[in-house]
Amino acid sequence: LEALIVRQSPSSIGMYEIIAGESRWEHAKEAGLESVPCRVMDLNDKQAKMAFNITNLMRRELTVRDKINGWYAFFQEMTAESSSLDELKAAIEDDQFGVMSGGKGLKLRSIQRYVKMHDLIDEWIDRLDAETMTVRAGERMSFFPPEIQRQLLPYKVPESKLNWLYEIYKGKNKRIPW
C-alpha cells in the first residue's frame, strides 16, 4: 500500500538501498511479489539515517518507553551538529520522508515532548506505558527533579493539577510559595 523509500546505493552502481520499508519488502517477497512500488530519493548518508530513524519511530507499534528512548537517542544524534536541528525541522515540515501517512503526523514539538520525558523516573514511565497517565501529563511531570517526582508517586495527579504545581514550582504563581 505504501512505497518503500530507497536511494541509489553509494557503493554499487545500478543497485538501490532500502531506507524505509524493509519489513514491507520482506513480506512482499514472502507473498511471491517480485517488485514493489518504491520512492527513489536523493539522500546523503546523514539524510538517509534521519529518514530511517524517523520512519521506524513513526511506523512501528512502540511502548511510550521505547518512543522516549528512541526519540531521545535520535535527537541527541541529530543535534550533535549545530545545523542538524534546522535540517530536522525542515524535513518534518516538508514531510520529506513521507512519514505523515497512516494518520500519523510528526511535529517537532512531539519529538521534543518525548525527548523531555527522558527525564522521568522509571515509575512514571511505567504509568505512561500502562496508559494510566497521559503523555502531556508525563511531559509536565518531567520538568520536576527526580526527588519531587518520587514525592508525587503516591498520588494520581491529573494534568490540570500538574500544570498548577508546575507554575508554583517555577515561581509563576506568586500567591503560593513552593
79-126: per-residue pLDDT in tens?
A: 776 556 677 777 777 666 655 544 556 677 888 899 999 999 999 999
25-47: per-residue pLDDT in tens?
A: 999 999 999 999 998 988 888 88
Give yes or no for a contact between 153 and 120, defined as CB atoms under 8 angstroms apart: no
Percent of the chain at pLDDT exceeding 90: 42
Q: Residue 146 in 3-state DSSP?
A: helix
- Assess whether pLDDT exceeds 50 at residue 147: yes
Report the distance separating Cα 157 and Cα 161, nearest Å: 6
Give yes or no for a contact between 8 and 40, defined as CB atoms under 8 angstroms apart: yes
End-to-end, the C-alpha distance of the chain in Å comes to 54
| 38 vs 177: which has the higher pLDDT | 38
Query: How much is the pLDDT for 121?
Result: 97
Report the distance separating Cα 106 and Cα 54, nearest Å: 9
